[in-house]
Amino acid sequence: MRIAIVDSFRFKGWYTWDLSRELGRLIGGNLFLYAPKGVKDGHRDRPYVFRGIWSPMFYPFQIVKQARRDGVNILHVQFEFHTFGSFYTSFLVALLLLFARVMGIKVVSTLHGPVFPRNPPGELFEAIRPRGIRAPAGLIRLYIVLVYRIIHALSDRIVVHADVFRRWLGEYGMSNCCAIPHGVRSVEWAAGADGGKVILYFGVLSPRKGVEYLVEAFARLNRSDVGLVLAGMEPWYYRGYADRIRGLIRGLGLEGRVRLTGYVREEDVPKLFHGSTVAVFPHLFSVSASGALALALAYRKPVVATATEYATELLGGVEDLPLVPPRDSLRLAEAIAGLLDDDDLRGRVSEGLAGIADRHSWRRVAGRTLEVYRALSRGP
């Protein structure tokens, strides 16, 4: 069994790096990673073969050609609408999957999002619409569903990161789906640093993340002993959102108390989590798993999250963990204050998160992914 995983490998902490390290340990030198030309692998002791071989306009031909040379019999595509470049070059994934099927290669596709139910709120598409795309929200929805239907038709197995996404795809008639959770790293973790308390938001700055409601909640706290760190970059396709957040900070008189870090280097991530007291995820919608939330689990950081479908499925079993309605800055402020002021509560929440982190470890996620590969290799 020879596996090739296709992804953009955008930065060192990318999902597929973690998955590939664990998979490579399980299947040895029979794992290949196909990345864009120019991408380098800086990891040491790689249990896989790394190849930077494709470009945005020609990737269907380049990837299948390399897969044939490597004797690959399962191609695993990590799909987002920006995996292969612009929003619209994603349509070429149909050729990639078709060519692979013609060559007798089994296809696994992981859909990282956006995934949504049949009757989503109209504002969802305004929140996820990339900057510069002027098409009506209805057309964007149709395009996303069309691409997913094509991927469904040409894939032997589709992977999503939660049962809620599997159910939603089922509403569109996509039945060959399974849910494998987003992996959680094994890291050294510690309680928040002594001294002033810090609220951490970690993740990209985009409209669907609800960062403005966290800023409003921080203003409601009105506490000089607490700081807010908004850690993460603004993607080019949502340019302008960070300026909106800065304007809100100025308007609420919070300058000097809120810090926007911009892009966070991989080596600085532990310092952010170790130095924070509470991590907050004020997301407006569930459209994908959250890698940032997986990091909070890894560091056992007490969490406040909004009660989106994904967060409720992942965190709903953790005793005393506060899940609040989206867009409710008052309830968000109350939940944050409750954790900031109660050491015992933070400890209980951290203990509950440790159980999720263990169940969703990358080793277990890789094992479940390998089960998918083996089932396809055995055939019907």
CATH level 2 (architecture), domain 3-183+361-375: 3-Layer(aba) Sandwich (3.40)
Domain ranges of the chain: 3-183+361-375, 197-359
Confirm whether 3-183+361-375 and 197-359 share one CATH topology.
Answer: yes
> Is the Cβ–Cβ distance between 334 and 305 less than 8 Å?
no
Residue-level pLDDT at 12: 66
Judge whether 33 and 50 are in contact, CB under 8 Å: yes
Question: Tokens 């600085």 correspond to what residue?
Answer: 268
User: What does the pLDDT read at residue 45?
Assistant: 79
Host H or E run for residue 310? helix 309-315
Q: Is the pTM of this model over 0.85?
A: yes
- In words, the CATH class of domain 197-359 is alpha beta
Burial class (CB in 10 A: 0-12, 13-18, 19+), 59: buried
Local confidence pLDDT in tens for the 380 residues of the chain: 999 999 998 776 689 999 999 999 999 889 999 999 999 887 777 899 999 999 999 999 999 999 999 999 999 999 998 899 888 889 999 999 999 999 999 999 999 988 998 888 877 877 777 766 777 878 888 999 999 999 999 999 999 999 999 999 999 999 999 999 999 998 765 554 455 799 999 999 999 999 999 999 999 999 999 999 999 999 877 888 999 999 999 999 999 999 999 999 989 999 999 999 999 999 999 999 999 999 999 999 999 999 999 999 999 999 899 999 999 999 999 999 999 999 999 999 999 999 999 999 999 999 999 999 999 998 66
Residue 200, Cβ neighbours under 10 Å: how many?
A: 24
How far apart CA 313 and CA 356 sit, in angstroms, is: 11
Nearest residue to 51 via CA among 73, 71, 33: 33
| Integer Rg of the chain from CA | 21
Q: Where are the beta strands (DSSP E) in the chain?
A: 3-6, 31-36, 49-54, 74-79, 106-111, 157-160, 177-179, 197-202, 226-231, 258-262, 278-281, 303-306, 323-324
C-alpha to C-alpha distance for 286 and 291, rounded to whole angstroms: 13
Peptide bond preceding 114 in cis form (omega within 30 of 0): yes
Which backbone phi and psi does 370 adopt, to 5 degrees? -65, -35
